[in-house]
Amino acid sequence: MKQVLQSLKTGQIDVADVPCPLVRPGHVLIQTRASLISAGTERSFVEFGKASLLAKARSKPDKVRQVLDKIKTDGLLPTLETVFARLDEPFPLGYCSAGVVVEVGEGAHGFEIGDRVVSNGSHAEMVCVPSNLCARIPDGVSDEEAAFTVLGAIGLQGIRLIGPTLGETIAVTGLGLIGLMTVQMLRANGCRVLGIDPDPARCELARQMGAETVDLSAGADPVASAMAFSQGRGVDGVVITAAASTDEIMHQSAQMSRKRGRIVLVGVVGLKLTRSDFYEKELTFQVSCSYGPGRYDPAYEDRGLDYPIGFVRWTEQRNFEAVLELLASGRLDVEPLISKRIEHSRAVEAYQSLTEQRDALGILLTYPHGRAASTSAAPVIRTDRTPSKIGPAVVGVIGAGDFAKLFAFPNLIRTGARLACVADVNGVAAAHAGRKFGFERTTSDYRHVLDDPQINTAMVLTRHDAHAPIVLEALQAGKHVMVEKPLCLEPGQLDRIREAFLSAQDCQLAVGFNRRFSPHALKMKSLLATRTEPLCMSMMVNAGVVPPDVWVHDPKVGGGRILGEGCHWIDLMSFLAGAPVIRVFATKIGTAGGVAVREDKTSITLCLGDGSIGTLHYFGSGHKSYPKETVEVFCDGKVLRLDNFRMLRGYGWPAFKSMRLRRMDKGHREEYVQFVQAVESGGPPLIPFEEIENVTRATFAAVESAASGEPVDVE
């Protein structure tokens, strides 16, 4: 299918071939019939992409701070590689779409195949959208009119926050698409409306919609005009739908408001507020969040959990429905807002119009109606690459997220393996990875990897909950498997994987315990080979904060941070000792002082089969400038200390003082090289399955022990 993408690095816009999305649980698959370019928001995206790197940094100071923090922990070169990789990713444009449902995912209630719906889908021929971000289009509302719904909901949410009542005077500053729809909805609510804008044509449109206007281009004073409009009392409320960097708009809004007036910001303006403006009048100021309650809530948007209507009357979806009802009744008229219609295949021209014609309002992209949508399988997109190597290791990768693009793919290329296919439910991510890293094919359906008889090796780089099911399918399909940690999230899954692995003939199964392959870990292992007593090991992980709503904390999706990440260091201690974990005791932070119980503040003590002991302090509450990973090993009157996989120091070792690398090396490259060599040459597993199983069970035991407060023996 075709989709409009923008390069954040260059600003170039392309109508690209990408795999068609598959319907997912709680989602609906929609064939697009019309989509609206949001003039304000999308113009800002385009201008950001075309800006220089310095200008990009100036416009995103919060991102610059994140980069500086990452430099402190990871070093300059790895940080720059990450930044440029992110800028190289294509950005899907668009969020105002109307089309027809062609498939309904499991658990997506309220929709049927053939329903006409609106959604926040992108400018693509097919979109897969959560059911709570869709709404049925009433009869009598065209697809083109319905495409304005999402923008209308943004304005409507601002109106709901300002809470207008019949007869109140409301000023709307900024008469773009959202502003002009806001004017109409306020008029429908029984308000007297004053529109403010520097564009005479937009002011004229607002007048035709029933508002009085202030044309700033003619030198009109917005504050004086608003005071005259409100008979000297000051307006009851101001809805700011403008996009400008100046702080003057906020100052003027405060000046034109009555005592205890309300100001709601829907657009983007400077926010250096003057205290006296708000203090003397006791003004209320609030920033509106997009379409309404539910926005950015994964439970509502991704998992389809609706808010009870008795407690949250207006959600995102119900705001969509309200806008559609206004369109159906004629109280909201968007026909005057349409500047031009352009075929989706010519979207590049549409964006040229957007940047060259600053007065453009609604630019609609149209799509062919007659073509039947293929929903039985995601099409496979072939890149322009030919096979890079005809050899034993033919790799299909499942998952093209951040880890894959930043670590897996660059290191996989260096192995010389043939890169046959990359699959990701996000077709844009799959297509970009395929073109950038040289895969022969891309798809949004991972089964194309497992069903291809030429592919003998599957790499699983998905979210954690998909690891075990895909590993089982891959082993049953006779594939070699490399899966990122963790191998699975439940003991029962581990039992089934064990059976499948033992039943598979000559199949490699490796888990991404890359740290044991790092140069420093291998050096430590060689130094410890002559030890005469058990090891005493201490590992400090300054894990950093991960917000509580991120998927890694979800026990069903990510399994939590100990299962998802803690297994790395449990494996490293077992590897250094050369012995299995036999007993685990873990404790996590308590609730004293009102601190929430979180497993990312946990200490884990391991007893190993050779008598060695190890302690893992996994803390998510440290400062970013402190080293992220520190490993200390004590034995025979000597000490080894490793900092951030860059500097290894020896204390008391006659022939070893230190080992320093120019950049951090956590073993990814060596792990991938050895795995491909194992696939091509056969022989024993890269990591014996008994070790993988022991580390996985020890990690389960750590989670269980932290919850119960009791030691747990490892089978």
Query: Average of pLDDT values for 654-673?
Result: 94
Query: Average of pLDDT values for 670-681?
Result: 94
Q: What is the pLDDT of residue 52?
A: 72
- 274 and 155 in a single domain? The answer is yes
Separation of CA 163 from chain center: 33
Does 379 sit behind a cis peptide bond, omega within 30 degrees of 0 on the bond before it?
A: no
Residue 281 lies in a domain: yes
**Which CATH number belongs to the domain containing residue 250 in this structure?**
3.40.50.720
Domain boundary pick from 512, 533, 563: 512
Averaged pLDDT score across all residues of the chain? 91
Answer yes or no: is pLDDT of 256 > 80.
yes
* Range name among 118-127, 488-497, 543-552, 628-637 with the lowest pLDDT average: 543-552
Beta strands in 386-502 (DSSP E): 394-398, 418-423, 441-443, 457-460, 480-483
Rounded to 5 degrees, what are φ and ψ at 661? -105, 155
Longest Cα–Cα distance in the chain: 93
Name which of 2, 22, 131 is nearest 376 in CA terms.
22
Give the model's confidence band at 293: pLDDT under 50 very low, under 70 low, under 90 confident, else very high.
Answer: very high
Q: What is the pLDDT of residue 545?
A: 86
> In angstroms, rounded to a whole number, what is the distance separating the alpha carbons of residues 294 and 373?
30
Q: What is the pLDDT of residue 327?
A: 97
Token reading at 619: 């803390």
Residues of the chain above pLDDT 90, percent:
78
- Mind listing the pLDDT tens digit for each residue in 689-700? 999 999 999 999
* Range name among 32-41, 489-498, 629-638 with the lowest pLDDT average: 32-41
- Mind listing the pLDDT tens digit for each residue in 278-292? 999 999 999 999 999
- 282 and 344 in a single domain? The answer is no
Residue 90 half-sphere exposure toward CB, CA atoms < 13 A: 27
- Mind listing the pLDDT tens digit for each residue in 86-117? 777 888 999 999 999 999 999 998 999 999 99
CB 607 within 8 A of CB 598: no
- 488 and 572 in a single domain? The answer is no
Query: Average of pLDDT values for 63-91?
Result: 72
Answer yes or no: is pLDDT of 578 > 60.
yes
> In angstroms, rounded to a whole number, what is the distance separating the alpha carbons of residues 702 and 295?
35
CB 506 within 8 A of CB 682: yes
Answer yes or no: is pLDDT of 612 > 60.
yes
- 79 and 155 in a single domain? The answer is no
Domain boundary pick from 512, 541, 573: 512
Residue 215 lies in a domain: yes
Q: What is the pLDDT of residue 549?
A: 80
Domain boundary pick from 483, 512, 541: 512
Answer yes or no: is pLDDT of 591 > 80.
no
Residue 311 lies in a domain: no
- Mind listing the pLDDT tens digit for each residue in 189-240? 999 999 999 999 999 999 999 999 999 999 999 999 999 999 999 999 999 9
Give the model's confidence band at 323: pLDDT under 50 very low, under 70 low, under 90 confident, else very high.
Answer: very high
- 203 and 279 in a single domain? The answer is yes
Q: What is the pLDDT of residue 375?
A: 42
- 633 and 557 in a single domain? The answer is yes
Name which of 231, 252, 107, 122 is nearest 174 in CA terms.
252
Q: Give burial (CB, 10 Å; 0-12/13-18/19+) of 362.
A: buried
Residue 321 lies in a domain: no
- Higher-confidence residue of 378 and 182: namely 182
> In angstroms, rounded to a whole number, what is the distance separating the alpha carbons of residues 176 and 197?
9
Show Cβ contacts of residue 707 under 8 Å, excluding neighbours closer than 6 positions. none
**Which CATH number belongs to the domain containing residue 539 in this structure?**
3.30.360.10
Domain boundaries, position 115: 2-148+334-366
- 257 and 402 in a single domain? The answer is no
Residue 318 lies in a domain: no
Q: What is the pLDDT of residue 550?
A: 87
Query: Average of pLDDT values for 321-326?
Result: 98
Give the model's confidence band at 372: pLDDT under 50 very low, under 70 low, under 90 confident, else very high.
Answer: very low
Residue 305 lies in a domain: no
Rounded to 5 degrees, what are φ and ψ at 641? -130, 125
Query: Average of pLDDT values for 654-683?
Result: 93
Answer yes or no: is pLDDT of 604 > 90.
yes
Q: What is the pLDDT of residue 376?
A: 40
CB 173 within 8 A of CB 250: no
- Mind listing the pLDDT tens digit for each residue in 479-533? 999 999 999 999 999 999 999 999 987 899 999 999 999 999 999 999 999 999 9
Token reading at 611: 């008598």
> In angstroms, rounded to a whole number, what is the distance separating the alpha carbons of residues 166 and 460?
59
- 551 and 684 in a single domain? The answer is yes
Answer yes or no: is pLDDT of 560 > 80.
yes
- 436 and 560 in a single domain? The answer is no
In the chain, how many domains are there?
Answer: 4
Answer yes or no: is pLDDT of 75 > 90.
no
Q: What is the pLDDT of residue 200?
A: 95
> In angstroms, rounded to a whole number, what is the distance separating the alpha carbons of residues 396 and 409?
11
Residue 252 lies in a domain: yes
- Higher-confidence residue of 185 and 353: namely 185
Give the model's confidence band at 546: pLDDT under 50 very low, under 70 low, under 90 confident, else very high.
Answer: confident
Answer yes or no: is pLDDT of 39 > 90.
no
**Which CATH number belongs to the domain containing residue 77 in this structure?**
3.90.180.10
CB 173 within 8 A of CB 253: yes
Give the model's confidence band at 58: pLDDT under 50 very low, under 70 low, under 90 confident, else very high.
Answer: low
H or E element at residue 368: none
Residues of the chain above pLDDT 70, percent:
92
Query: Average of pLDDT values for 643-671?
Result: 94
- 619 and 583 in a single domain? The answer is yes
Token reading at 184: 């109409």
CB 696 within 8 A of CB 494: yes
Query: Average of pLDDT values for 540-561?
Result: 90
- 17 and 140 in a single domain? The answer is yes
- 180 and 144 in a single domain? The answer is no
Residue 529 lies in a domain: yes
Show Cβ contacts of residue 443 under 8 Å, excluding neighbours closer than 6 positions. 19, 378, 379, 380, 381, 421, 422, 423, 427, 430, 449
> In angstroms, rounded to a whole number, what is the distance separating the alpha carbons of residues 576 and 571?
9
